[in-house]
Amino acid sequence: MADNILAGPRPAKKVGVNPIIWKMAVLFIIPLMTFIIPAPEGLQELAWKLLGIYLAAIVGLVIKPYPEAVILLLAIAASAGVIGNIGIPGTKGGLKIDSVLSGYASGTTWLVFAAFTLSAAFVTTGLGKRIAYTLVGKIGKTTLRLGYVTALLDLLLSPATPSNTARAGGIVFPIFNSIAVALGSDPEKSPSKVGRYLMVNIYMVTKTTSYMFLTGFAGNALALSLMRDILHIKLSWGGWALAAVFPGLIMLAVIPYIAYKIAPPELKTIDNKAIAEKGLAELGSMSIKEKGLGVIFIFALLGWIFSGYIGMNEASVAVSVMSITLLCGVVSWDDILKNKGGWSTLIWYGGIIGLSSTLAKSGFFTWLADSLSHRFDFSGMGGAVVPILLLASILVRYLFASGGAYVAAMVPVFATLGLVSGTPPMVLALAILFSNSYGGCVTHYGGAAGPVVFAAGYNDIKSWWIIGLTVSLITYAVQLLIGIPWWEFLISHGWL
C-alpha cells in the first residue's frame, strides 16, 4: 500500500511483464531514438544525443525502475560514453567527460547535502520535538490552534531543513500523529475526530514553507541551478526569502483554516498542557547537543542572510555549518554515514546538475528557445504568459510522484517557454520556483512528505485532493495578485 503510493502511477501493472524490464525498455528506447533519427536542423549531434539521455533520466525519475541515484549513475555513464566514445561530427571537442561530473563540485549539490545534516540533527538531537511540544503547550488549546502550531513549527524549522522528509516526515508528523492517537482519534474508527485534519494540514503547510526559503526544500537549489543556465539570473538566499515571505505568510495564515473548514475535526478543544508536559517530560532536560544545534542554527541563518557581506556563498555557509556541527559533536560522522537520504540526494542532484549543465553547454537550450520563438507567437499574450505557465505547472503535478523529479523535468521547459515569451526573467524565475512547491499540494504523492503522512491512514484521497487543489489555486491567486506586484516592487528598488 505504502509502496504503491510512493511509486505513484504504475503503467507497468497493466502489461503483465516484469515491471522493471518494461520500464527499462522504455528508458533504453528514448536514447536509442536519437541514434536512429537524425538531429533536428540547427541542433548539434552531441546535444541531440545528450538530450536523449537526459530525457531518459527524467522519465526514469518518474517511473522509478531503480532508485534515483542509480538512474543518474546510468545516465552519467551513458553520457560519458557518448561524449568520449562516438566521434560525433561537427562538435568542437570542447566538452570533456569530466563535464558530466561537474555537478558534484557544484555549490548547489553541496548546499543541499550539507543542509541535510542540519535536517537530520533536528531529528536525532530531539530539538525539533522540544520546540513542537513547547508550542503545543503555549498556544495549542484548540484543534484549529494546533493547525497553527503546525504552521509555526514548520516555519521555524524550514530555513535549515531542505529535507521535507526530515522536517515534515521526521519531526512534525510523528508528534502530531501521537497527539491524534492520544486524543482518541483512530485511523480506522474515528479519523475525523482530529487525525484527518492534523495530517492533511501538515502536508499543505510544509508545501508552503518549502518555497519560503532557498534551503526549505532540496528541489529549490536544484531548480535555481537549472534555471541559471537558461535565464542567467542571480538570486541570493536573502533575496529569495524576501520575495517569498509576503505571499508565504498569507498562505500560512489561511491554510489551517481552509483545512479546518473542508475536513472539520469533531473535537474542538483539547488539554494541550497535559500533552506538552508529557512530551517534554519524556525528552528530559535540554541536552548540550540540542543547545549546540540551537546556536549553530542561528549562525546558519545569519550566515545565509549575510553571506554576500562576508564574502561567502550559500554553499560555503552550509559546508561551514556542517563542519561545525561535526566539530562540536552535535552530529558524528557516523550519523552522517547513516543518513542514507543525504547520500542518495548527493548522487542524484550532482548527477542531474552535471547532465543539465552539459546539455546547456552543448547548446541545447539556446536552440530550443530559438526554435520555440520561431514556431510560437507570444506577441499578443502579454501578461498572460506567467498565469498560463503557472496553471500548467500545477495541473501537470498530478503526473509526478516526486518534487525533485518534477523540478528536473519541467523547470527547464517552463523557464525556456517563459524566456521566449519575453517575460522579465526574475519575475518568471520566482513564479516558477515557488510553484515547484505549492503545485505539489494537489496530490498525496506530490512530495516526499506526502506518502509518509498519508500512510498514517487518517485521510481519504477525496478530501485530501479537494483541500490540495483549493490550497494550490488560492496560492496561485495570491502569487499572481500579491506576489508579482511585490517582486516588481523589490526589483524596481534594487532589492532583488
The residues that touch its own copies, with contacts defined as CB under 8 A, are 24, 66-67, 69-70, 73-74, 76-77, 80-81, 84-87, 97-98, 101-107, 109-110, 310-313, 315-316, 319-320, 322-324, 326-327, 333-334, 337, 340, 343-344, 350, 354
- Cβ contact 479:471 at 8 Å: no
* 236 vs 316 by CB, closer to its own copies: 316
* 269 vs 323 by CB, closer to its own copies: 323
- Cβ contact 314:214 at 8 Å: yes
* 334 vs 377 by CB, closer to its own copies: 334
Please report how close the Cβ of residue 226 comes to its own copies at its closest, in angstroms: 17
* 93 vs 494 by CB, closer to its own copies: 93
- Cβ contact 420:200 at 8 Å: no
Closest by Cα among 73, 63, 65, 60 to 21: 65
Please report how close the Cβ of residue 126 comes to its own copies at its closest, in angstroms: 23
Please report how close the Cβ of residue 77 comes to its own copies at its closest, in angstroms: 4
Please report how close the Cβ of residue 347 comes to its own copies at its closest, in angstroms: 9
Please report how close the Cβ of residue 306 comes to its own copies at its closest, in angstroms: 12
* 104 vs 378 by CB, closer to its own copies: 104
Q: 192: which 3 cell numbers?
A: 475525523
Closest by Cα among 445, 444, 442, 358 to 404: 445
Please report how close the Cβ of residue 161 comes to its own copies at its closest, in angstroms: 19
> Treating both helix axes as pointing N-terminal to C-terminal, what angle do 218-231 and 340-361 enclose, rounded to 10 degrees?
10
- Beta-bridged to residue 142, according to DSSP, are 269
3-state SS track over the chain: CHHHHHHCCCCHHHHCCCHHHHHHHHHHHHHHHHHHCCCCCCCCHHHHHHHHHHHHHHHHHHHCCCCHHHHHHHHHHHHHHHHHCCCCCCCCCCCCCHHHHHHHHCHHHHHHHHHHHHHHHHHHHCHHHHHHHHHHHHHCCEHHHHHHHHHHHHHHHHHHCCCHHHHHHHHHHHHHHHHHHHCCCCCCCCCCCCHHHHHHHHHHHHHHHCCCCHHHCHHHHHHHHHHHHHHCCCCCHHHHHHHHHHHHHHHHHHHHHHHHHHCCCCCCECCHHHHHHHHHHHHCCCCHHHHHHHHHHHHHHHHHHCCCCCCCCHHHHHHHHHHHHHHCCCCCHHHHHHCHHHHHHHHHHHHHHHHHHHHHHCCHHHHHHHHHHHHCCCCCCHHHHHHHHHHHHHHHHHHCCCHHHHHHHHHHHHHHHHHHCCCCHHHHHHHHHHHHHHHHHHCCCCCCHHHHHHCCCCCCHHHHHHHHHHHHHHHHHHHHHHHHHHHHHHHHCCCC
* 154 vs 314 by CB, closer to its own copies: 314
Q: 162: which 3 cell numbers?
A: 531542505
Please report how close the Cβ of residue 109 comes to its own copies at its closest, in angstroms: 8
* 76 vs 452 by CB, closer to its own copies: 76
Please report how close the Cβ of residue 117 comes to its own copies at its closest, in angstroms: 10
- Cβ contact 240:118 at 8 Å: no
Please report how close the Cβ of residue 86 comes to its own copies at its closest, in angstroms: 7
* 37 vs 310 by CB, closer to its own copies: 310
> Which letter, b or e, does each residue of 24-47 get, where b requires 16 or more Cβ atoms within 10 Å of its Cβ?
beebeebbeebeeeebeeebbbbb
* 76 vs 270 by CB, closer to its own copies: 76
Please report how close the Cβ of residue 89 comes to its own copies at its closest, in angstroms: 14
Please report how close the Cβ of residue 159 comes to its own copies at its closest, in angstroms: 19
Please report how close the Cβ of residue 408 comes to its own copies at its closest, in angstroms: 18
* 328 vs 466 by CB, closer to its own copies: 328
Please report how close the Cβ of residue 53 comes to its own copies at its closest, in angstroms: 12
* 3 vs 334 by CB, closer to its own copies: 334
